[in-house]
């Protein structure tokens, strides 16, 4: 499928189409390689903004707990890779940030919405988090996230024994 325009966002139980995007540390993100681990894709509006910084710091501070649950984390925004590199370095983030300037992942998960700002209608990225199981299936989504306590909400789902059974097998 490649990097084509995605028309409809996936739902719980669905999988991502193949999307290949640049990431920090000279890496490339490929959505079809999200296997064998739980995967968190968290979308945030912009590097260096207060809420986005808090969210990144929270995921970073809890990174080892997520790793112990066989879970990898990726942060995604429409910022360019070189801006992600600066943000990642300044915040000492232990996970990669994905640059979605063409909004391919954003559209596949339906996180771009109309928003009114200063009397103008803009297309804005809505802070959202998606959890995929080791088979690449979407199992939980959080939309219009409030960064306070969000990490704990995500961790509660990962600590659910019914979800963890697939990892043990």
C-alpha distances in Å from residue 100, one per residue of 76, 97, 106, 161: 7, 10, 7, 33
Neighbours of 78 (CB within 10 A): 21
Q: Are strands 120-125 and 112-117 parallel, antiparallel or unpaired?
A: antiparallel
Catalytic amino acids? Answer: 52
Q: Within a 10 A sphere around the Cβ of 159, how many other Cβ atoms?
A: 11
- The answer to whether 147 touches 51, Cβ cutoff 8 Å, is yes
């Amino acid at each position: 499928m490649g990097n084509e325009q995605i028309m409809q966002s996936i739902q719980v139980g669905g999988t991502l189409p193949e999307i290949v995007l640049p990431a920090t540390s000279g890496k490339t993100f490929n959505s079809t390689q999200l296997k064998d681990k739980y995967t968190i894709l968290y979308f945030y509006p912009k590097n260096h903004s207060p809420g986005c910084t808090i969210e990144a710091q929270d995921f970073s501070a809890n990174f080892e707990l997520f790793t112990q649950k066989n879970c990898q984390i990726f942060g995604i925004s429409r910022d360019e890779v070189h801006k992600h590199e600066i943000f990642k370095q300044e915040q000492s983030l232990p996970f990669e940030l994905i640059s979605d300037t063409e909004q391919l992942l954003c559209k596949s998960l339906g996180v771009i919405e109309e928003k009114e700002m200063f009397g103008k209608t803009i297309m804005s990225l809505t802070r959202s988090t998606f959890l995929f199981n080791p088979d690449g299936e979407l199992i939980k989504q959080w939309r219009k996230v409030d960064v306070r306590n969000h990490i704990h909400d995500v961790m509660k789902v990962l600590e659910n024994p019914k979800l963890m059974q697939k990892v043990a097998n």
